Amino acid sequence: MNVLVAGGAGYIGSHAVKQLIEAGHRVVAVDNLYRGHSQAVHPQATFREIDLADMQSLVDVLAENKIDCVMHFAALAYVGESVADPLSYYENNTAGTISLLKAMDTTGVKRLVFSSTCATYGEPETTPIVETMRQEPISPYGWSKWCVERVLKDYAAADKEFAFVSLRYFNVAGCATDGSLGEDHDPETHLIPVVLQTALGRREKVTVFGTDYPTPDGTCIRDYIHVEDLCTAHITAMEALRPGDGRFYNLGIGRGYSVREVIDSARRITGIDIPVEYGKRRPGDPAVLFADAGKIQHELGWSARYTGIDQIVATAWRWFEKHPNGYTD
C-alpha cells in the first residue's frame, strides 16, 4: 500500500514510518519540521518538507505518489501551550486537517487514520475510559482534536466511500526497541523523558506535582502505551478500513502507573538515584486516567505487548543513554 504519513518526522510519526516500511508498505513522509527531526525519517521513505496549510503541495504529493491511505500525526500537542495560544492549535490541528482532507478529496484518497487523544474526554467521572463516554475537553488542544473528529463524521456522512479511524491515545512512551529512534521534544514535558534526562544530568531534579491524590501512593496514575504498540495499532486499523467506515478506538494498556512508580522504575533501570522535588498539584490534573482498550482488541485483535513499566522505561533509556542531546548527537 502507498501510505502518506503526515508528521512523519515527529516522535510517533517516525516510528510509524519505520514500522510501515518493515511491513512492506511504500511510505511518503511529510512534515514542516517545526518540531520534527529530518534525521528521524527512515532512509527508505520519501521525505517532503510540507506544511498542512499548503494544500496544493499536499495535492501534488498525494497524486504523484498514488497514495492509498493517509496516517495523520501532524499536530501541536502541549496542553499548557494551547491554553496560552489557542489560535495556533485550531489553525494547525483543526484547519490543517481540513486542508489535508481537501487535498485528499481532490485526489480521490479515501482512507485516513487519525491521531486523536484521550484529551477529548476531559475529566471523566469514572475509569477505565470507554469510547462511549461523554467528550468534554478542558483545553484548546483537546477541543482542536474533538473538532477534527466532528469534521470526520460529517465528511464521512457526505462521502460514503470515505473511511476513517480515529485513535484516541493515552500516554505514549518508550522508544524503538532496536535503539534506532527516540523521543526528542523541545520543550520536553513527558514524564519518562524528563526523569531520564534528570538521570543523565541534563536536569537538576524531577518535580512531582501533587502527593495528596486519592491513589495508593498519593501521585497521579496514567496509562502508558509503548510507541511501537501504538504504531502497530495504526497499521492494524489501516488494513481493516473499508469504504464507509467511521471507527473510534482507545489505545492504552488498560491499567495505570503512578508518577512514583515511573520514577522508581527509572531508578531501577538506570541504577541512578534520581533526585526528586515534591510540589503542589497542577490545575486540571485528574487523579487517575487509564483506558479500556477492549473495543479494538475485540474488533481488530490488537493488544499491547509492552505492559510492564520497566519494559517501557528500558527501551527509552536505551535511546537516551546513547543520545543524551537527542538527534543532535
Contact, 256 vs 174, CB < 8 A? no
Provide the 8-state DSSP code for 177: T
Q: Is 141 a catalytic residue?
A: yes
> Catalytic one among 11, 90, 121, 141?
141
Residue recorded with cell 506544511:
51
- Contact, 277 vs 153, CB < 8 A? no
Query: Which 8-state DSSP code applies to residue 246?
Result: E
Best CA proximity match to 231, nearest among 112, 73, 117, 24: 73
Rounded Cα distance between 232 and 19, Å, is 7
What is the identity of the amino acid at 160? Answer: K
Residue 200 cell numbers, joined: 543523565
Comparing CA positions, the residue from 142, 141, 129, 77 lying closest to residue 293 is 129
Q: Residue-wise over 11-34: b if at least 16 C-beta within 10 A, else e?
A: bbbbbbbbbbbeeebbbbbbbbee
Are 112 and 206 in contact, with CB atoms under 8 Å apart? no
Of 166, 146, 171, 144, which is closest to residue 156 (Cα–Cα)?
166
CA angle (135 as vertex; 134, 138 as ends), nearest 5: 130
Q: Pairing between strand 221-222 and 257-258? A: antiparallel
Find out whether 52 and 148 touch, Cβ atoms under 8 Å. no
* Tally of CB atoms within 10 A around 179: 13
The amino acid at residue 225 is I
- How many residues would you count in the chain? 329
Catalytic residues: 141
